[in-house]
Amino acid sequence: MTTATLRVAAADVATAIRQVRSGAGTPAARIWLALGTVYLLWGSTYLGIKYAIATMPPLLMGSLRFLAAGGVLYFLAIRQGDTAGDRPGTRQWLAALAIGGALLVGGNGGVILAEQYVPSGVVAVFVATAPLWMAIIDRVIFRRRLPALVIVGLVIGFGGVAFMIGSPGSGHISVFGAALALAAPLCWASGSVFTRHVKLPVRPLVAASMEMLWAGVLFGALSVATGELGRVHWQSISRTSWLALLYLIVFGSLVGFSAYVWLLRSAPLSLVSTYAYVNPIVAVILGAIIAGEVLTPRILVAGSIILAAVALIVVARNRAAAASARTAAPA
């Protein structure tokens, strides 16, 4: 089943590649450069978080990251595009609060906390289950019918998660850390789904910057509420942690997200969505090579099962969306 699934995913990617090559719009080289940027930078953020929170309190790190990235992005984006007709108001700021809280505080915050208990590569694999959660939310909340392949993918994916966690004993991972790592994609999936049902600014970079600013504020409030900020010894934060934070701000939040938003408008969705199962592979490889994280047979097998399930779900949803678009198109 795993081999067949990956072959199906590869066939869809091949189709997307042909679409890119034959397209008369954006040059293929720019698409591949942007896609490679998302693959590498978003895959490397797990390792960046690991080094940042080594000596920096995690909630404070999240606050500094998103306040800085959101502030810079808002300053650059708010003056571009439809500045008169797309001016953020109270409704847009409240929507950004809700979505930013789910995506960045719940999603990214879960990653930050999970990496205190679980290797960064394993966290990345768990985060890759976001498409599984999105499919479940679509079915439970919005009563959308799931294609048979999506249901198969859900069963396989959560089977892989159960195998990854395993039972107490040799080679098992922290159940608490795993729970945090699974809560992160659940929050990310919730925010992603409900983004379609709230009133955000039309300009995507403006909306993203507002979400980041709210996330920075919420992380800061949590840091104060938990007493974390009062226990900070700034002189004990290492240069490595500061450099990792700078990397997350510039490359993870600004460059990586800008490339992703550009891809959504310039490349086939079937190609863009491959980041969901390429990023964990990058994260696992970087964690093993740079941080010396151990790759046990259980991690490799379970990770392969989860990524195959994610590939199956992404492919099935892309095909369903394409079929729906063809049906809706005028004859």
The predicted-structure confidence for 92-110, as pLDDT tens digits, reads as follows 999 999 999 998 999 989 9
Model pLDDT, residue 327: 61
- 3-state SS of the chain is CHHHHHHHHHHHHHHHHHHHHHCCCCCHHHHHHHHHHHHHHHHHHHHHHHHHCCCCCHHHHHHHHHHHHHHHHHHHHCCCCCCCCCCCCHHHHHHHHHHHHHHHHHHHHHHHHHCCCCCHHHHHHHHCCHHHHHHHHHHHCCCCCCCHHHHHHHHHHHHHHHHHHCCCCCCCCCHHHHHHHHHHHHHHHHHHHHHHHCCCCCCHHHHHHHHHHHHHHHHHHHHHHCCCHHHCCHHHCCHHHHHHHHHHHHHHHHHHHHHHHHHHHHCCHHHHCCHHHHHHHHHHHHHHHCCCCCCCHHHHHHHHHHHHHHHHHHHHHHHHHHHHHHHHCCC
Model pLDDT, residue 226: 94
Q: How far is CA 292 from CA 20, 45, 116, 164, 287, in A?
A: 37, 16, 16, 19, 6
CB 218 within 8 A of CB 101: yes
140, exposed or middle or buried, with CB in 10 Å at 0-12, 13-18, 19+? exposed
The backbone region for 292, taken as left when phi is positive above 0, alpha when psi lies in -120 to 50, beta otherwise, is: left
Rounded to an integer, what distance in angstroms lies between the CA atom of residue 192 and that of residue 317? 15
What b/e readout covers 199-238, taking b as 16+ CB neighbours within 10 angstroms?
ebbebbbbbbbbbbbbbbbbbbebbeeeebbeeeeeeebe
Model pLDDT, residue 209: 93
Rounded to an integer, what distance in angstroms lies between the CA atom of residue 288 and that of residue 119? 10
pTM of the predicted model as reported, rounded to 2 decimal places: 0.80
Model pLDDT, residue 51: 95
**For residue 325, how many other CB atoms are within 10 A of its CB?**
9
Model pLDDT, residue 273: 72
Model pLDDT, residue 299: 82
CA 272 to chain centre: 13
Within the chain, which residues score under 50 in pLDDT? 1-2, 5-6, 8-10, 12-17, 19-24, 170, 331
**For residue 310, how many other CB atoms are within 10 A of its CB?**
27
Rounded to an integer, what distance in angstroms lies between the CA atom of residue 62 and that of residue 249? 10
Model pLDDT, residue 101: 94
